[in-house]
Amino acid sequence: MNVSTQPQEPSRGRSSESFWGNERARRVLRGSDAIAYDTAPTEIARKCPALRLGSLDPADASVLQSASLARRRIEQTRPQSHNVGNRKRTQRFVPASTHTSSMRPIRSVLMLLQCVRSLTTFPAHAYAKELNAAVQAVRRAAKITTKLQRDLANVESATKDDASPVTVADVAAQCVVIDALSQLFPDDGFVAEESAADLLERGEKRCVEAAADAAGFSVEQLCSIVDTRRPDAKRWWVLDPIDGTKGFMRGAQYCTALSLIDVYEGDYEREAVVGVLGCPNLERDGSLGGGSDGDGVVVAAARGAGCFATPYDTDDWTPLATNPRSTWTDGLLIEGVAASHSDHGASERAARTLNLKSEPVRLDSQAKHALLAGGRGDLFTRLPRPGYVERVWDFAAAKVVVEEAGGAITDLKGRPIDVGLGTYLDASVEGIVASGAPALHSEALAAVNAGLAAKD
Ligand code: AMP
Ligand code: MG
């Protein structure tokens, strides 16, 4: 990943082609085949969320989205080795596999220059305040979770109704994230994984007391904050305070996954508009490292603004982009560790069909999507047992991150994931597939569905 210290300077007076490009990028990003080459600038301006939401004039909005656009253009022209925080520049450039016919050479060079300038701050966008708050909240959570993960033997845990584990760290992290967001956005609601009331009902008072202690609140304060929901709110935050609790308890990967759901013109009435994955155990270069010794990376995305990563301790934002591969051959599969959460046999069959590398990368949590977004893997599969209904906090942040990094994420039928329904995804969602290269997504879906239908 390329890094420079120069912040991007918005320029004015962009041509209508910039709008065309932004809309096109947004559609490529969603994995849609229906790219609107001839969409009129006025129509694009109407659809552009940054414009619709207010304060930006069209010229600004065009520029604000240009980092994401430039990156996607460049994606078409290079074999990336996108690593979070990798400061080496990609030296080798090859012709694009798709969409190159419309790229005039001069534009390509300009886009390239724009791309390599990179950022130290997240580019401005309509949800800048929310994204910044989410990143700070996730950082606050990591202060607690990293400390507790270093002392796992003394971390109180309990088992929930669905037999999944919950620890003091889950509850404490949920508390500080909701507390931080509630102070800034008192009207927003929350859809969050943990419930202090449920824990108390199950007789897990010690767990709640230890969480209050870790979060720095009284037990009463913690219970009230953790269970804040505001179900009538117009927009809401989706939070998994420790996604991958099993990984956390093994001293391995986990993440704090946070996403804002708001009204948005897209496939559904509401959409995840901001997504943050705080991954304290990922290395800065996007590799897995040795469990809890990772440097820590925060990956964040906002609709139309792109996907970026920064270390935990400083704001040093670098763009992330998925691998723009033209074939699945030698691609890398990323899946969960827990075989009970995803059918490893079916994904192995799909991997054989697609000629992927023989060994998948397995890790807990949506840190998988951070890797996919940074080009550290190519295909994500999650194939739960029949009848399991997915929870929204396992996919809302991932959806924005993957799509804004240039990938596609859908259910097994190829439908976009509706993350605006509340706690659960639609019960007809039987599994989730994400591809770094949207053009290859339908091939992946066919292989995964065939892998599920077949038995070795
Ligand atoms: P992963 O780390 O990818 O295995 O996903 C962790 C998430 O799996 C947790 O946050 C749970 O919400 C979810 N989960 C719990 N039980 C199941 C299950 N039986 N099948 C699929 N996902 C599950
Ligand atoms: Mg989870």
DSSP structural state of residue 391: B
Both 337 and 307 in one domain: the answer is no
CATH number of the domain enclosing 154: 3.30.540.10
| pLDDT, mean of residues 314-341 | 96
Counting from 1 in the atom list of ligand 1, the atom nearest the Cα of 254 is 2
| pLDDT, mean of residues 292-296 | 73
| Chain centroid offset of residue 249 CA | 22
Exposure on the CB side of residue 160, measured as CA atoms within 13 A: 16
Question: Which residue in 149, 136, 170, 179 sits closest to 242, CA to CA?
Answer: 170
The backbone torsions φ and ψ at residue 278, rounded to the nearest 5 degrees and listed phi first, read: -90, 115
Ligand nearest to the CA of 336: 1
CB 212 within 8 A of CB 218: yes
Q: Poorest-confidence range of 113-122, 245-254, 356-365?
A: 113-122
pLDDT bucket at 118, cuts 50 / 70 / 90: low
- Which of 319, 341, 370 marks a domain boundary? 319
Active site residues: 170, 245
Can you list the alpha helix ranges (DSSP code H) found in 53-127?
Answer: 58-64, 66-75, 105-117
Give the mutation target among 394, 423, 433 for probing the ligand 1 site: most ligand atoms within 8 A of CB. Answer: 394
The tokens describing 1, both together, are 């990943």
The count of structural domains within the chain is 3
Question: Judging by DSSP bridges, how do beta strands 379-382 and 432-435 pair with one another?
Answer: antiparallel
Both 164 and 199 in one domain: the answer is yes
List for the chain the helix, strand, coil content (%; round to 5): 40, 15, 45
Residues 418, 423, 428, 432: what is their CA dihedral angle, to the nearest 10 degrees?
Answer: 60
Both 231 and 259 in one domain: the answer is yes
Both 407 and 304 in one domain: the answer is no
Both 279 and 170 in one domain: the answer is yes
Task: Decide whether any atom of ligand 1 lies within 6 Å of the 24 Cβ.
Answer: no
Task: Decide whether any atom of ligand 1 lies within 6 Å of the 384 Cβ.
Answer: yes
Residue 131 belongs to a domain: yes
- Which of 276, 294, 319 marks a domain boundary? 319
Cβ-count burial 170-192 (b if 16+ within 10 Å, e if not): bbbbbbbbbbbbbeebeebbbbb
Query: Does 217 have pLDDT greater than 80?
Result: yes
Residue 389 belongs to a domain: yes
Residue having the nearest C-alpha atom to atom 7 of ligand 1 = 244
Residue 4 belongs to a domain: no
Residue 96 belongs to a domain: no
pLDDT bucket at 110, cuts 50 / 70 / 90: low
Task: Decide whether any atom of ligand 1 lies within 6 Å of the 194 Cβ.
Answer: no
Greatest distance between any 2 Cα atoms in the chain: 67
Both 267 and 406 in one domain: the answer is no
Residue 428 belongs to a domain: yes
Task: Decide whether any atom of ligand 1 lies within 6 Å of the 369 Cβ.
Answer: no
The 3-state DSSP class for residue 313 equals coil
Both 73 and 155 in one domain: the answer is no
CB 419 within 8 A of CB 409: no
Share of the chain above pLDDT 70, in %: 73
Task: Decide whether any atom of ligand 1 lies within 6 Å of the 365 Cβ.
Answer: yes
Can you list the alpha helix ranges (DSSP code H) found in 56-167?
Answer: 58-64, 66-75, 105-117, 128-149
DSSP structural state of residue 235: S
Tell me how far apart the alpha carbons of residues 235 and 271 are, in angstroms, rounded to a whole number: 10
The confidence score (pLDDT) of residue 112 equals 55
| pLDDT, mean of residues 189-195 | 98
Residue range 10-42, pLDDT digits in tens: 222 222 222 223 333 343 333 322 222 223 333
- Which of 319, 345, 379 marks a domain boundary? 319
The backbone torsions φ and ψ at residue 191, rounded to the nearest 5 degrees and listed phi first, read: -120, 105
Residue 108 belongs to a domain: no
Report the chain's mean pLDDT, rounded to a whole number. Answer: 80
The backbone torsions φ and ψ at residue 98, rounded to the nearest 5 degrees and listed phi first, read: -140, 160
Question: Which residue in 392, 337, 399, 393 sits closest to 364, CA to CA?
Answer: 337
| pLDDT, mean of residues 97-104 | 39
Query: Does 423 have pLDDT greater than 50?
Result: yes
CB 333 within 8 A of CB 361: yes
Query: Does 109 have pLDDT greater than 50?
Result: yes
CB 406 within 8 A of CB 72: yes
Ligand nearest to the CA of 250: 1
Query: Does 167 have pLDDT greater than 70?
Result: yes
Both 209 and 235 in one domain: the answer is yes
Residue 88 belongs to a domain: no
Residue 384 belongs to a domain: yes
Q: Poorest-confidence range of 94-98, 208-212, 282-286?
A: 94-98
Both 272 and 159 in one domain: the answer is yes
The confidence score (pLDDT) of residue 14 equals 26
| Chain centroid offset of residue 424 CA | 18
Going through 370-431 in order, the beta strands assigned E by DSSP cover 379-382, 408-411
Give the DSSP per-residue string, 15-33.
-HHHHHHHHHHHHHHTT-S
Both 146 and 236 in one domain: the answer is yes
The tokens describing 239, both together, are 């939070």
Both 165 and 310 in one domain: the answer is yes
Q: Which residue range forms the structural domain that includes residue 410?
A: 333-453
Query: What separation in Å is there between the alpha carbon of 48 and the centre of ligand 1?
Result: 34
Task: Decide whether any atom of ligand 1 lies within 6 Å of the 164 Cβ.
Answer: yes
> Can you give the length of the chain in residues?
456
The 3-state DSSP class for residue 435 equals strand
CATH number of the domain enclosing 388: 3.40.190.80
The tokens describing 11, both together, are 């320029």
Tell me how far apart the alpha carbons of residues 22 and 428 are, in angstroms, rounded to a whole number: 32
Residue having the nearest C-alpha atom to atom 20 of ligand 1 = 341
pTM: predicted TM-score of the whole model, two decimal places: 0.78
Tell me how far apart the alpha carbons of residues 416 and 40 are, in angstroms, rounded to a whole number: 25
* Single-letter amino acid, residue 256: T
Both 244 and 131 in one domain: the answer is yes
